[in-house]
């Protein structure tokens, strides 16, 4: 009887060769979030379905087509998180985090969306996420964008990446712009793509970033947010751009850049590159002052961003896997295994990465260590009834190893 080997679920991945790049992205993010004084949070992988359906909107593609929702044994509808922000907003409300406001939060982990897998996009994927909740000042937007900009630079992938920036105005500005967009696109309804015809009433801002050639013909002449901005909204955007200039963060205006959900206000941004083909966004976010209110809480200002770890790792490229240890400890015969085991423990406690060779032909163990190519070899062998030690390394490394073994 032949047992069929189970295959991985489509849209998932077993991360092996890319794991070091993946870990480098996370480690750099963790280091910088401490530098910028963001508190680490861990969020549940699943939430009650209304957390996402109420915040993202029943008519969005994420809610209507992409969420992994299921009924638990108690009959309650639960959903694997498709993004972080809604869950963090729920936690802010239910855990009384308002007492810490403005609170700066950061997290990372897996997310789940049922969508067509493609380069850098999976059904189980991973993101890093940073949010500031309870800060209405434009300086919060500047802080987050400076954090993102420094992250990309320290990952070594900033070349060829551009920060595209836009404003969606305050609530009144956005409502006036939305009405103008509906009127404009309604006059061209028959010539729009099917998706944009569907979006026309429920989500017209999304037409502006449509990739369909039928829509692009009309986007260029569509009403611009600048014509509907209130004085307050203009001042807010001006403060953000001035702050970015002061912080040394380069940006370019992208008047068609939008966030389609109604709770977004003011700043919207994406860091984009042409190194990932059509999937050019590596990090994106914006100000979502209406989200917590949409979840039943009080009006609360907030701004945040997220980035796909897979995409960032693709841009980072291959990293040193650490496959070659600093030192290899060789037990040249079985009688020396005890001493070799004690030695490798001392080396590791001293911060020297090490592995041990203590199997196979005793005559070939040292030669095997030489072929591996470690920076140092520490060999133990039985000589005249006693276990002797020898070190093969550069003088400086030898001294460091001898110090570790002496401690």
Q: What is the mean pLDDT of residues 64-81?
A: 89
> pLDDT band at residue 18, thresholds of 50, 70 and 90?
confident
Contact, 82 vs 52, CB < 8 A? yes
CA atoms of 391 and 100, how far apart (whole Å): 56
3-state secondary structure of 333: coil
Return the structure tokens found at 269.
């941004």
Binding positions for L-histidine: 83-85, 113, 127, 131, 259, 263-264
Is the model more confident about 27 or about 369? 27
pLDDT at residue 279 greater than cutoff 60: no
> pLDDT band at residue 363, thresholds of 50, 70 and 90?
confident
| Percentages (nearest 5) of helix, strand, coil residues in the chain | 45, 20, 35
pLDDT for 84: 95
Tens digit of pLDDT for each residue in 228-268? 999 999 999 999 999 999 999 999 999 888 876 767 889 99
CA atoms of 248 and 365, how far apart (whole Å): 55
Phi-psi region of 96 (alpha: psi -120 to 50; beta: other; left: phi over 0): left
Could you give the percent of the chain with pLDDT greater than 70? 93
CA atoms of 237 and 229, how far apart (whole Å): 10
pLDDT for 59: 47
CA atoms of 117 and 130, how far apart (whole Å): 25
pLDDT for 372: 84
pLDDT for 62: 62
Domain assignments of the chain as residue spans, ordered by start: 19-170+230-316, 327-406
Enter the CATH code of domain 19-170+230-316.
3.30.930.10
Q: What is the mean pLDDT of residues 11-29?
A: 90
Q: Which of 155, 108, 154 lies closest to 131, judged by CA?
A: 108
pLDDT at residue 323 greater than cutoff 70: no
pLDDT for 119: 64
Return the structure tokens found at 98.
């308002």
Binding positions: 83-85, 113, 127, 131, 259, 263-264
Contact, 60 vs 195, CB < 8 A? no
Tens digit of pLDDT for each residue in 292-305? 998 899 999 999 99
Strands 302-308 and 281-287: antiparallel
Q: Which of 22-26, 126-130, 185-189, 306-310 shows the lowest mean pLDDT across its residues?
A: 185-189
In sequence order, the 6+-apart residues with CB closer than 8 A to the CB of 123 are 9, 10, 11, 12, 112, 113, 114, 115, 117
CA atoms of 14 and 396, how far apart (whole Å): 40
pLDDT for 321: 59
Tens digit of pLDDT for each residue in 374-392? 888 999 888 877 888 888 8
Residue 124's Cβ-count burial label (10 Å; 0-12, 13-18, 19+) is: middle
Q: What is the mean pLDDT of residues 331-358?
A: 91
Helix (H) or strand (E) holding 303: strand 302-308
pTM: 0.86
Strands 265-273 and 281-287: antiparallel
DSSP annotation of 209 reads: G
3-state secondary structure of 27: helix
Helix and strand tally (H, E) in the chain? 14, 15
Tens digit of pLDDT for each residue in 189-229? 888 888 888 888 777 888 887 878 888 888 888 889 899 99
> pLDDT band at residue 341, thresholds of 50, 70 and 90?
very high
pLDDT for 191: 86
CATH superfamily of 327-406: Anticodon-binding domain (3.40.50.800)
């Amino acid at each position: 009887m032949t047992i069929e080997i189970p295959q991985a679920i489509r849209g998932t991945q077993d991360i092996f060769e890319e794991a070091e790049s993946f870990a480098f992205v996370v480690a750099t993010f963790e280091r910088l979030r401490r530098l910028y004084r963001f508190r680490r949070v861990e969020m549940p992988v699943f939430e009650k379905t209304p957390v996402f359906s109420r915040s993202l909107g029943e008519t969005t593609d994420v809610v209507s087509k992409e969420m992994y929702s299921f009924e638990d044994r108690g009959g309650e509808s639960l959903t694997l998180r498709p993004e972080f922000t809604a869950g963090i907003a729920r936690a802010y409300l239910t855990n009384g985090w308002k007492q810490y406001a403005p609170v700066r939060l950061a997290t990372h982990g897996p997310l789940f969306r049922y969508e067509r897998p493609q380069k850098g996009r999976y059904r189980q994927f991973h993101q890093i996420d940073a949010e500031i909740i309870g800060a209405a000042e434009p300086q919060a937007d500047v802080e987050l964008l400076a954090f993102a900009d420094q992250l990309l630079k320290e990952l070594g992938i900033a070349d060829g990446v551009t920060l595209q920036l836009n404003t969606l105005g305050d609530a009144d500005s956005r409502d006036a712009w939305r009405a103008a967009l509906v009127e404009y696109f309604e006059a061209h309804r028959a010539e729009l793509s099917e998706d944009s015809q569907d979006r026309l009433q429920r989500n017209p801002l999304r037409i502006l970033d449509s990739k369909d050639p039928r829509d692009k013909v009309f986007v260029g002449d569509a009403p611009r947010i600048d014509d509907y901005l209130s004085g307050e909204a203009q001042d807010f955007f001006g403060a953000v751009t001035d702050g970015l200039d002061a912080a040394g963060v380069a940006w370019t205006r992208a008047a068609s850049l939008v966030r389609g959900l109604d709770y977004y206000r003011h700043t919207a941004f994406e860091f984009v590159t042409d190194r990932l083909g059509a999937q050019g966004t590596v990090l994106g976010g914006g100000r979502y002052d209406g989200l917590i209110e949409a979840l039943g809480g009080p009006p609360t200002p907030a701004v945040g961003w997220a980035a796909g770890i897979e995409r960032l790792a693709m841009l980072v490229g291959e990293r040193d896997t650490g496959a070659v240890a600093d030192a290899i400890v060789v037990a040249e015969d079985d009688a020396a295994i005890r001493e070799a085991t004690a030695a490798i423990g001392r080396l590791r406690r001293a911060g020297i990465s090490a592995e041990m060779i203590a199997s196979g032909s005793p005559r070939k163990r040292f030669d095997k260590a030489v072929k591996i190519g470690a920076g140092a070899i520490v060999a133990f062998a039985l000589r005249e009834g006693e276990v002797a030690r020898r070190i093969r390394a550069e003088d400086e490394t030898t001294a460091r190893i001898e110090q570790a073994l002496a401690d």
